[in-house]
Amino acid sequence: MEALLQQLRSRLTEVYDLRAASAVLQWDQTTYMPPGGAAARARQLATLARLSHERLLDPEIGRLLEALQPYEKDLPYDSDEAGLLRATRRVYERALRVPPAFVAELSAHYTLSYDVWTRARPAGDFPMVQPYLERTLDYSRRLAGFFPGYEHIADPLIDYADPDMKVSVIRPLFAQLQAELSPLVQAIRGRPQVDDRALFRSFPRIRQLDFAREVVRQIGYDFERGRQDLTPHPFTTAFSLGDVRITARAVENDLGQALFGSIHEAGHAIYEQGINRSFEGTPLGTGTSAGVHESQSRLWENIVGRSRPFWSFFYPRLQAIFPQQLSSVPLEAFYRAINTVRPSLIRTDADEVTYNLHVTLRFDLELEMLEGRLAVGDLAEAWRARYQADLGILPPDDRDGVLQDAHWFDGNIGGAFQGYTLGNILSGQFFQSALEAHPEIPSEMEQGRFGTLLGWLRERIYQHGSKFTAAELVERITGGPISIEPYVRYLREKYGEIYGI
Ligand code: ZN
């Protein structure tokens, strides 16, 4: 068995080496590549996508999986070997259904579509990307079509990001959450509003980025195995478990962008840096789902990074860096400012309470497009209508409306957004479990110590990579299924106190 496993691992490593090469090219495309590189880059990425797909579909991998099947039932479910076989089978069987030529065509289309989006967004020019988005919808529907027998056409697409999640599970969960959060948003609107103008003074970008780097280093991001670069739409990418990179955007008159964006991406990266190094080059060597990934970025960004204990440590340091801007702003006023609840246009800047409204409306629009009830040509208008209805605000243009997210312009329509809200829900469950195990976590944060929390997360979540599904992790950690209750309680307590409800 060990010899067969070894053969399987070395074949998988070739596949994941090719994927890592694609990741380097994609990272370069969104950080340093000049516009003139776009067309060739699309072709290069398509070639790599096709090659890695063909490598994965090598009949030898199928033969090895078959030869290993008799051993699998004797392996403990939580062993690395059983995990590797489960994860490989999932990836292999999914890949088998999609022709390599289609994979290459899809990849080339997304690279070009992303490139057009980078010009259409600043111009607020939706018609410029509309033909690309129409093709994306067509590709997304065709991709789903390779997986017949689904309940909902979005299910196979969601499965790529959040394995085992389905529209029939997500819809009621999101409806439940919305029913809990809408009264909270209303109650906050009825209270005196928080003054957050202190965050929008002039903060030189270089010093913002220096401080953000200091913060992410302190919470546990390892710069020996990563680096940070600038990009218009921040993301995290891993070329190996020893090279997990983050990106940031800094805005002179908005202190939150670089700071909370960096903590967010560092949360994703700390997860990947914590994966068992022996999983590298296999399907186990990455976070298990979009939802669990987002649970970590959001946990570090919000539950930790917007908490009182965190800032009672970091605020004097921030004041020392920006004395002119912040010396007259007390800690309590700063804490309230960074937790202002106010319906806003941009998802990534949204506060914790209204954030999920941005996600559920995108999720609904995705489903409507896939179901054929909403044409791409009507999307911008539908977007405005939903912002008016759900958040009570009307985007002044498409730049800060339908064009604001890179998703849909760099990947499928379907599966792009549910992970954000699933992640918020899971962050509440995981943090509650961490606190139950270690009630000293908040007082450690007041001293700038994050090791107990990080150690618990590594032990319970990070090291496992993709060995367990999201549902299995939640079950192992909380003893039950995914539940909105800890997250809703966290929001009610925190914002009830800030707004005096
Ligand atoms: Zn994220």
Q: Which residues lie across from 248 on neighbouring strands?
A: 230
In the reported structure, the alpha carbon of residue 423 is separated from the centroid of ligand 1 by a whole-number distance in angstroms of 9
Q: pLDDT at position 104, please?
A: 86
CB contact at 8 A, 303 and 495: no
Task: Label residues 142-152 b or e (16+ Cβ within 10 Å = b).
Answer: ebbeeeeebeb
pLDDT reported for residue 356 = 96
Q: Measured in angstroms, how far is the CA atom of residue 22 from the centroid of ligand 1? A: 20
- What confidence score (pLDDT) does residue 322 get? 98
The region that residue 343 occupies, defined by phi over 0 for left and psi between -120 and 50 for alpha, beta otherwise, is: beta
| SS3 per-residue string spanning 322-372 | CHHHHCCCCHHHHHHHHCCCCCCCCHHHCCCCCHHHHHHHHHHHHHHHHCC
pLDDT at residue 21, as a whole number = 98
Backbone angles phi, psi at 186, to 5 degrees: -60, -45
Length of the chain (residues): 501
Whole-angstrom Cα distance, residue 362 to residue 125? 19
Beta-carbon contacts of 349 under 8 Å, excluding residues fewer than 6 positions away, are 256, 257
Q: Do residues 474 and 417 lie in contact, with contact meaning Cβ atoms separated by under 8 Å?
A: no
| pLDDT value at residue 338 | 98
Whole-number pLDDT of residue 487: 98
85 CA to centre of ligand 1 in angstroms: 28
- Catalytic-labelled residue, pool 265, 272, 294, 352: 265
Q: What does the pLDDT read at residue 196?
A: 97
Q: Which residues in the chain show pLDDT less than 70? A: none
Q: Compute, in angstroms, the gap from residue 283 CA to the centroid of ligand 1.
A: 20
Whether the Cβ atoms of residue 114 and residue 132 lie closer than 8 Å to each other: no
- Report how far ligand 1's centroid is from the alpha carbon of 394 (Å): 25
H/E element, 246:
strand 243-248
Going by DSSP bridges, is the β-strand pair 236-240/228-230 parallel, antiparallel, or unpaired? unpaired
Q: What is the pLDDT of residue 209?
A: 98
DSSP secondary structure code for residue 192 in this structure = P
- What are the pLDDT digits (tens) for 313-359? 999 999 999 999 999 999 999 999 999 999 999 998 899 999 999 99
- Cα(374) to ligand 1 centroid in Å equals 27
Q: Which positions ≥6 away from 78 have C-beta within 8 Å?
A: 467, 468
CA of 501 to the centre of ligand 1 (A): 30
Nearest 5°: phi and psi at 401? Answer: -110, -120
SS3 238: strand
Please tell me the distance between residue 294's alpha carbon and the centre of ligand 1 in angstroms: 5
Ligand 1 mean position, distance from CA 492 (Å): 23
Whether residue 105 lies in the annotated active site: no
Q: How far is the CA of 301 from the centre of ligand 1 (A)?
A: 10
pLDDT at 250: 97
pLDDT on residue 111: 87
Output the pTM of the full model.
0.95
